[in-house]
C-alpha cells in the first residue's frame, strides 16, 4: 500500500492514506488527514481538515477543520483556464458534492450531499442543489424496442 507525494510540503502529524496522490504545489498543514484514493493538487489544506477518501481537490484553499465528504470533486478547469475554490474554516462538504470553480464556501457553511455548487455559499449557510427526481416508466423496455 503506497501513496505518491511530489514537490509538496507535509507538516507534522499530517496523515496520508493508501493509494493517494499528493501533487506538486500542495501544502498539508498540521493534523490534516488525506485518506485512501484521494488526489490533492496545488492546494493548501489547513490544520485539522479532513479529506477522508475518494475525492479530488485541486487549486483549492481550504481553511481549518473542514470536512470533505467522500466523492467530492473541486471542478477547477473550464476547458480553457484553471480556477480556484476557497473553502473556509469549519465548512462541511457533503458526499459527492461538485464545487464548480471559481467558488467560495463560507465559514461553518454546509453543502448537501450530491449538490453541484456553482455560486458562493455564505457563512453559516446550507447549500442544496437538486433537481426533482424524475421516473420514466418502462424506459428500459422502450429503449430495447428501438434497438
Angle at 106 between CA 104 and CA 112, to 5 degrees: 85
Distance CA 141, CA 126 (A): 40
Long-range Cβ contact pairs of 9-16 (< 8 A, separation 24 or more)? none
Distance CA 107, CA 55 (A): 21
Encode pLDDT of 59-93 as tens digits: 999 999 999 999 999 999 999 999 999 999 999 99
Distance CA 69, CA 24 (A): 23
Residue 146 has pLDDT above 80, yes or no: no
Sheet with 15-16: list strands edge to edge: 15-16, 33-36, 50-53, 67-68, 92-93, 110-111, 126-127
Instruction: Convert 26-46 to b/e letters by CB count within 10 Å (16 or more is b).
Output: bbbbebbbbbebbbbbbbbbb
Q: Compute how many other C-beta atoms are within 10 angstroms of the C-beta atom of residue 71.
A: 16
- Residue in the block written with cell 455548487: 117
Beta bridge partners of 51: 34
Question: Where are the chain's structural domains?
Answer: 4-146
Classify 80 in phi/psi space as left (phi over 0), alpha (psi -120 to 50) or beta.
Answer: alpha
Residue 145 has pLDDT above 90, yes or no: no
| pTM > 0.85: yes or no | yes
Residue numbers annotated as active site: 53
4-146 to CATH, choices 2.160.10.10, 3.40.50.720, 2.60.120.460, 3.40.640.10:
2.160.10.10
Mean predicted lDDT score pLDDT of the chain: 96
Distance CA 62, CA 81 (A): 20
Distance CA 32, CA 93 (A): 16
Encode pLDDT of 102-140 as tens digits: 999 999 999 999 999 999 999 999 999 988 889 999 988
Amino acid at each position: 500500500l503506497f501513496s505518491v507525494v511530489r514537490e509538496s510540503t507535509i507538516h507534522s502529524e499530517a496523515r496520508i492514506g493508501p493509494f493517494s496522490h499528493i501533487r506538486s504545489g500542495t501544502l498539508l498543514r498540521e493534523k490534516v488527514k488525506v485518506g485512501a484514493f484521494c488526489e490533492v493538487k496545488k492546494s493548501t489544506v489547513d490544520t485539522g481538515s479532513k479529506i477522508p477518501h475518494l475525492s479530488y481537490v485541486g487549486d483549492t484553499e481550504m481553511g481549518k477543520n473542514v470536512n470533505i465528504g467522500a466523492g467530492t470533486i473541486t471542478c477547477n478547469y473550464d476547458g480553457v483556464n484553471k480556477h480556484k475554490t476557497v473553502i473556509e474554516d469549519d465548512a462541511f462538504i457533503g458526499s459527492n458534492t461538485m464545487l464548480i470553480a471559481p467558488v467560495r464556501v463560507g465559514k461553518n457553511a454546509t453543502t448537501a450531499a450530491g449538490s453541484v455548487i456553482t455560486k458562493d455559499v455564505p457563512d453559516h449557510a446550507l447549500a442544496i442543489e437538486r433537481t426533482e427526481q424524475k421516473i420514466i416508466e418502462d424506459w428500459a423496455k422502450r429503449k430495447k424496442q428501438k434497438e
